[in-house]
Amino acid sequence: MNLRQVEVFRVVMTSGTTARAAEILHVSQPAVSKMIQELERSLDFDLFQRIKGRLHPTQEGQLFFREVEQAFLGLAHLRGAAARIRDYGSGELRIACLSALSTNVVPRALQAFMARNPNVAITFQARMSSNVRDLVASGQFDLGIVADEIDSTGVEVEEFARFRVAVAIPQGHPLQALDVIHPADLAGHPFIALAPEDTTRREAEAAFESAGVTIRPVIETPYSTTICAMVAAGIGVGLVNPLTAEPYVDHGLLLRPFEPALHFRTLMITPPNRLASQNLEEFIRDLRAAI
């Protein structure tokens, strides 16, 4: 089996006939048929049934075609990577980040970095922390910013930043009159909560329990941005990262300090056993400066 035979098989499958495949590949129809036969011999199973002069894919042929398509997707990725290396000779950075910092810290850092390095290709994705961890652990991404509840096996980890929790309330809410909000103040108010696995949520639940306060969430979400949007819409109150709330402040949402002090803790993760490039080290400095 060789790549040319596989390519011919793929074109026959996508075009439907050997005649059309021959036109696309600029070869003769007998040459196409010969390569298909050679491929079948090397695989030791039939790819097509020949019925009344037409080729019909066998079940084995259809299964093999799925694998071929995956391989060609990989080749397309390689072509894209080669194009980026050609067009952006200084390199590339692949960054993934939890949603809470994707609209504030990371854009500020990217703006500073790209102003100095216009020829570096940037790939950026905002994902849940668990997904960011998987992308970095697999080596698909160079850097991840995640919440501290992730599984840290398979990645290099260092603390990135801490952000003190604030209470987000709708404008005109009765709690607006308070300078500082305590657990008891939130009793009876519709509460929009972070996901149960969130470390900050667990610490908040401990604070409520210590104060003898029962909070019953009306909505749960893993994203501080969603909490902000729900609060601004008047659905309830919630604990948020104040950086995430920046676009909503005075647009339907107000922030108040929460006591006792709680913090969102974020981590910086990189793939294991990989030296950071100069571009990555420079971008990390921009990230820390953007906090």
The amino acid that residue 9 corresponds to is F
Report, at the CATH architecture level, how domain 89-162+266-289 is classified: 3-Layer(aba) Sandwich (3.40)
Enumerate the CATH 3.40.190.10 domain ranges in the chain, comma separated: 89-162+266-289, 166-261
Q: Which CATH number fits domain 166-261: 3.40.309.10, 3.40.50.720, 3.40.190.10, 2.40.10.10?
A: 3.40.190.10
CA angle 33, 38, 44 (to 5 degrees): 125
- pLDDT confidence of 173, banded at 50, 70, 90? very high
What is the distance, to the nearest Å, from the Cα of residue 20 to the centroid of all Cα atoms in its chain?
A: 40
- pLDDT confidence of 112, banded at 50, 70, 90? very high
Structural tokens at position 243: 């950086």
Where do we find the tokens 């071929």? 68
Mean pLDDT of all residues in 101-110: 94
Mean pLDDT for the chain overall = 91
Q: How many residues are listed for the chain in this entry?
A: 291
pLDDT at 74 > cutoff 70? yes
Q: Which CATH number fits domain 3-86: 1.10.10.10, 1.10.1740.10, 3.40.190.80, 3.20.20.370?
A: 1.10.10.10
pLDDT at 91 > cutoff 80? no
pTM, 2 dp:
0.66
Pick from 129, 134, 137: nearest CA to 160: 129
CB-based contact 95:123 (threshold 8 Å): yes
- pLDDT confidence of 86, banded at 50, 70, 90? low
Enumerate the CATH 1.10.10.10 domain ranges in the chain, comma separated: 3-86
Q: Which of 4-18, 64-78, 140-154 has the lowest mean pLDDT?
A: 64-78
3-class secondary-structure state, position 128: coil
- pLDDT confidence of 52, banded at 50, 70, 90? confident
Strand partners, 263: 164
Mean pLDDT of all residues in 56-82: 85
